[in-house]
Chains A and B, each alone.
Chain A
Amino acid sequence: DAGVTQSPTHLIKTRGQQVTLRCSPKSGHDTVSWYQQALGQGPQFIFQYYEEEERQRGNFPDRFSGHQFPNYSSELNVNALLLGDSALYLCASSYNIGLPYEQYFGPGTRLTVT
């Protein structure tokens, strides 16, 4: 049973560009959350998707947007990249009615903005 997978592993972009990160949830999970982990910080919640809808959002600007597909996979899009967007982006999947600890993380995508 594959766990949560993310692609790509690493990415280098230039300021002002746009980026798309992808996540496939653990088999059977229907809810996907995205987190940003800056260097030396803990993961910060960006948003959560369920039934192809964004249902929770953290304190991130509209430049951060997402999508969930019918197969529960998800994308994170960031527009007009800033140097401060450089971070590890983590995807986590869970059951809609699961307990807080029943959240599984992928290995992350390391985004570097130059």
Chain B
Amino acid sequence: DQQVKQNSPSLSVQEGRISILNCDYTNSMFDYFLWYKKYPAEGPTFLISISSIKDKNEDGRFTVFLNKSAKHLSLHIVPSQPGDSAVYFCAASGHSGGYQKVTFGTGTKLQVIP
């Protein structure tokens, strides 16, 4: 039962252009959505989050959009830089047994071409 889905395993974008990474979820009880970035040989690092009561959150070049009716969120990176090349995980947080539990998607590998 994959509650968080990233249907694009990979994405290539030219430097300077916009990167759009997509994520779908099935559980309407999730209350936080997060994006993590992962380089090889490192653990995931938190990038940006959005509460389920918001529809947009922006942090510098990164913006996350949430469409609750469609159970869809997206991460926009503008402008894309070669250092953004990494695997991006979408994750969702909800309460399970009284505690927060984070569920991850399968990841999208972004390659930014110089």
B34 engages A105 (CB within 8 Å): no
- State the main secondary structure of chain B at its contact with A: strand
Q: Tell me which of B45, B103, B107 contacts A45 (CB under 8 A).
A: B103
- Compute how far the CA of A55 lies from the CA of B96 in the bound complex, rounded to whole angstroms: 10
- Compute how far the CA of A91 lies from the CA of B63 in the bound complex, rounded to whole angstroms: 27
Which residues 1-50 of A sit at the B interface, judged by CB distance below 8 A?
4, 33, 35, 40-45, 48
How close is B86's CB to chain A, nearest CB, in angstroms? 14
Chain B positions within 8 Å of A106 at CB level:
43
Chain B positions within 8 Å of A108 at CB level:
43
Is B25 engaged at the interface, CB distance under 8 Å to the other chain? Answer: no
How close is B59's CB to chain A, nearest CB, in angstroms? 11
A90 engages B44 (CB within 8 Å): yes
Q: Tell me which of A4, A92, A101 contacts B49 (CB under 8 A).
A: A101
- New A-B contacts (6) at CB < 8 Å, excluding given A42-B89, A100-B102, A103-B46: A42-B91, A42-B104, A45-B103, A55-B99, A99-B32, A101-B46
Q: Closest 3 interchain pairs by CB?
A: A105-B43, A42-B104, A100-B93
